[in-house]
Amino acid sequence: MSKLKTNHIVETLIWLTIIAVFFVYSFEFDQEIEIYIFGATGWPRVILGFLLLVTMGNFLHLYKKGSEVQKGRVGITDQEENITYDSLDSIWKLIAILSLPLIFAWSLKPVGFYSATPIFIALTILLLGEKRIKWVLGITLFIYLLLIVLFMVILNAPLPQGNISPFYDFSAFMLTLNTNLHQSLNF
């Protein structure tokens, strides 16, 4: 008798969609390559073929045995499996936690790394449940300083400076500080 549940069908359909999307997209770069007889699409399509086979195998396995035998996960303890959460609140938090890095990435060009980073660190800490403002500010400053020392002072990495005043001015100030520091240390 079938032990198939709706979520098993949905799961399989999602995998099949992934395979189909990759396969269709592979025609975009389907070209012969003189030095490589398999062409640009050869290897990806072989993987997709295997993926299709294994997906169908998994579906068959779910059909016969269900997902009961698939419990347990490498790298995760049983203690960690039991996460307690409130579903409505979780959706809100999921949106918030995923939006923050998205807005951070978007803000790098206009606002710049130097100004955007402390704001987003503080927001992340607040989102993760810390309400004590002194702690939020202290930890934000600590992480920010570590990032600046490593990426600006030691690595001299070209971090985005922003293009809107006063953020751009602040970035320029930070870079001047860095230059002066390097000169004084003869670094």
Scan residues 83-122 and list those touching another protein (CB under 8 A).
83-86, 89-90, 93-94, 96-98, 101-102, 104-106, 108-109, 113, 117, 120-121
Q: Is 75 helix (H, G, I), strand (E, B) or coil?
A: coil
Q: Which span sits near another protein by CB under 8 A: 45-53, 161-169, 170-178?
A: 45-53
Q: Between residues 19 and 172, which has the closer beta carbon with respect to another protein?
A: 19
Nearer to another protein, 1 or 76 (CB): 76
Q: How far is the CB of 111 from another protein (least distance, A)?
A: 12
How large is the greatest C-alpha to C-alpha distance in the chain, in angstroms? 78
Give 52 or 172: the residue with its C-beta nearer to another protein: 52
Q: Compute the distance between CA of residue 163 and CA of residue 145 in angstroms, rounded to an integer.
A: 22
Interface with another protein in residues 154-183 (CB under 8 A): 154-155, 157-160
Residues 18-37 that bind another protein (CB under 8 A): 18, 22, 25-26, 29, 31, 33, 35-37
Contact present, 63 and 3 (Cβ < 8 Å): yes
For 99-110, b/e burial (b = at least 16 CB within 10 A) is: eeeeebeebbee
**144 burial via Cβ count (<10 Å: 0-12, 13-18, 19+):** middle
The yes or no reply on residue 127 touching another protein (CB under 8 A) is: yes
Nearer to another protein, 130 or 163 (CB): 130
Q: What is the dihedral of CA 164, 166, 168, 169, to 10 degrees?
A: 150
Of residues 9, 20, 54, 133, which one binds another protein by CB under 8 A?
54
Place of tokens 């918030």: 96
CB of 22 to another protein, least distance (A): 6
The tokens for 67 are 């997902």
